[in-house]
Amino acid sequence: MALRPCRECGQLVSTDAKTCLYCGKRHPTRSWAAIGCFMLMVLAAPTIIAKFFGGGHSTIPTPSSAYAPPSSVSTVALKSQVKQKLRLDFAFFERSSVTMVNFRIANQSDRAVKDLTIICTYFGPSRTKIDSKTRTIYGVVPARSTKRISAFNMGSVHSQARTGYCTIEDFELAANPPSSPAVLASGR
């Protein structure tokens, strides 16, 4: 049995006491900080033990190895090939202080694409980059076809923007629609 000061009134009280004899404080010498440190050590012990005695190998799979589909390497290569055959033409105009863009997307590949992420970068009179907007065009651009999007809202752009350009940053591969019987019959 040791004596410690009460957390409430500061009088010396036994560490075994349930309440302080002077002020009535419950558990007058219990330190919640000590309990918190003890709990932290209990929770952190498995991680520390695994780090020092686990042989340096992580037992937790990394996202790239655990969650990537087996064909992810071929998908990346395929997307790279398709991206080389995508063309983006654009024309800016302003409507009520909002920048609008007319897009023409030409897909010259054999694969349909969808959900194209477009980045438009804007420059001031001194040709300094002053703004950039990223938007996604949700829709499918079939293989070997062209899609036009009129008056696409890019949002408010810096007032000093004078020129700009847009690029296709990313997209998803879409399933090619099956050929219709009429097309097959006509030989097209």
Which tens digit of pLDDT belongs to each residue from 107-133?
A: 999 999 999 999 999 999 999 999 999
- Residue 66 predicted with pLDDT over 80: no
- In the prediction, which pLDDT does 74 show? 82
Q: What is the pTM of this model?
A: 0.55
Closest CA to 15 of 36, 37, 31: 31
For domain 79-177, the CATH class is mainly beta
Asked whether the predicted pLDDT for residue 170 surpasses 80, the reply is yes
CB 107 within 8 A of CB 124: no
Residue ranges covered by each domain of the chain: 3-53, 79-177
pLDDT for position 34? 62
Containing H/E element for 43?
helix 32-53
Q: Among residues 85, 88, 93, which one has the least CA distance to residue 104? A: 88
Q: What angle do CA 130, 167, 139 make, to 5 degrees?
A: 125
Task: Give the pLDDT band (50/70/90) at residue 65.
Answer: very low
